[in-house]
Structure 1
């Protein structure tokens, strides 16, 4: 009888323990399912947030067909065999750094009046077919150009302007006029347009943990609040922005000296991005993505996280060592020693090489 009682108690104990285990497993399953739902919701919200950060302009519709022809590229054999190949053709992207003062962050960083903005920095990024090499051509903002007639948001058009400063195109007609002016002066089709403002650039540098740049001379510029000795410096976002904007403390104080610093900064940023393990650090990846998309304006061909991701993936074989930085050849303008004009035929030869 005693043995039976013990045997019975044993079964009951096992049943109770089994029930507890099943209960714990069930609870763990509920928690795990809940965590997955929350995680999925978080990822969904993050994607929605990043996607809605991006502002866009329909440049193709605004400019119509009166533009240089698109480059024709031949698909590679590997791309043809893939079900959904990444793009591999040559590409020209107009990248503008805007000095917009809209928003508190931009104003604090020294942006322009809240009623308007200028293209403080302009670069044409040419990516070779195969997307393993690239050339970045800086256009001095003080270049005198013939600014074409541009459509305006109100439905009208701007007048043709002769001997106008290059960066005035953005002021009078926004991204559409900036693209049209670049295409008119280069006869090269801009496949895409990307604009980033002051706060976005500074935030991007901070999200990457800063950027290391070597300067060849002392920089002492009270206007940009930048004071650096010649040598290697690890800069935060505010300092990197000041470096990109400084000109009074270097060389002859012209825009041409600043372009050299900007090109160094571009190369340094590319190296920083490639050395930062973003894919293994989701928190940093999101921080970088939020910094970029939060202050980005693109054409409608790049106005989604999916399109930007595809562009990024197509450039995975492009290293910073294969990025060449040059400036559009210019000479002092005969009419104004403080302005420059394209140095022909060198400038035309450069643009022709990008077709």
Structure 2
């Protein structure tokens, strides 16, 4: 009996130890992911000189999760900060630009979404923006859209988007090259179908027309490809980026992360490690709450469009918003 009692104690202590270690591991993982996220206080920087927030009508049935419409500016940065970004072809070491810009509009109820891509070569009036170093950048007429991020980071990018759309950006999310590539790899790659051959020596991507399973580095190259398709402009690249957005949504839906904790952690680590958000999304709990509110959103309910543009009269290599089509598009999302 004594020997059996001793054995039971050993088993009990072992299980207790495993539970403590497991709890500690979960706690550390949460702390690690939470502290991965970098943030910018955009609301304080921009103050009240912004479009009004959308009016949210409370639903009849109280929900623990937010259900109101939401506008999120998502930027893909070509930052060269860090070895991983340098190896993947980030921008020059003196700064970064917004390589990809999308306004994600979530309808009330959050079961439908519209993703509007803004060509980085669009000429805009860049408003006066506060600078991190102090002071403000002057208003610039006929400036390239992606110069806003280079001049004043996320704050200036948000203010510029709000000035051309007259829509309040409720949140900001930025991800760099390495983060995107790591996300795709953590998901096990992504399946895409191209309708034409792609031969782009600058992005180092060479694909025959057809279906392909891409790893993170290849998916990033596809998102950056412009010279191997169409007329070599940014407009052809936007079509590839929108295809990738839907493919990633479908991959996430097909991968049941909740039944694979190890993969779930890899995905979460990949996302948060290269993420910069506004202060309203700068914690793991806030990101999880946003994600949970989108559980009814599927890839087939995501509409991808590009802001209507035409060639700029001053430069055939640049574009400007096509009116009134662009104005009508933004109005439909308010």
Smaller-chain TM-score bracket: over 0.9
In 2, distance between residues paired with 1:257 and 1:20? Answer: 75
- The residue that corresponds to 1:157 in the other structure is 136
- The residue that corresponds to 1:11 in the other structure is none
The runs of at least 4 aligned residues of structure 1 exceeding 3 Å deviation read none
Does residue 115 (structure 1) correspond to residue 117 (structure 2)? The answer is no
Does residue 31 (structure 1) correspond to residue 14 (structure 2)? The answer is yes
- Unpaired runs of 5+ residues, structure 2, are none
- The residue that corresponds to 1:290 in the other structure is 269
Q: How many residues are matched?
A: 334
Of residues 52, 60, 65 in structure 1, which corresponds to 2:48? 65
Once the two structures are superposed, residues 231-274 of structure 1 have per-residue CA deviations (whole angstroms, 9 ceiling, x without a partner) of 10000000000000000000000000000000000000000001
The correspondence of residues 6-45 of structure 1 with structure 2, limited to 5 A, is 18-45=1-28
- Unpaired runs of 5+ residues, structure 1, are 1-17
Query: Which has the higher Rg, Structure 1 or Structure 2?
Result: 1
Does residue 174 (structure 1) correspond to residue 153 (structure 2)? The answer is yes
- The residue that corresponds to 1:222 in the other structure is 201
- The residue that corresponds to 2:292 in the other structure is 313
Contact 1:141 1:167 in 2 (8 A): yes
Three-state SS of the structure 2 residue aligned to 1:325 is: strand
Cα offset for 1:225? 0.3
Contact 1:102 1:113 in 2 (8 A): no
Cα offset for 1:155? 2.1
- The residue that corresponds to 1:98 in the other structure is 77
- The residue that corresponds to 1:266 in the other structure is 245
- The residue that corresponds to 1:7 in the other structure is none
In 1, distance between residues paired with 2:58 and 2:291? Answer: 18
In 2, distance between residues paired with 1:277 and 1:19? Answer: 47
Once the two structures are superposed, residues 266-287 of structure 1 have per-residue CA deviations (whole angstroms, 9 ceiling, x without a partner) of 0000000011010010000000
Three-state SS of the structure 2 residue aligned to 1:122 is: strand
- The residue that corresponds to 1:204 in the other structure is 183
- The residue that corresponds to 1:12 in the other structure is none
In 2, distance between residues paired with 1:131 and 1:189? Answer: 17
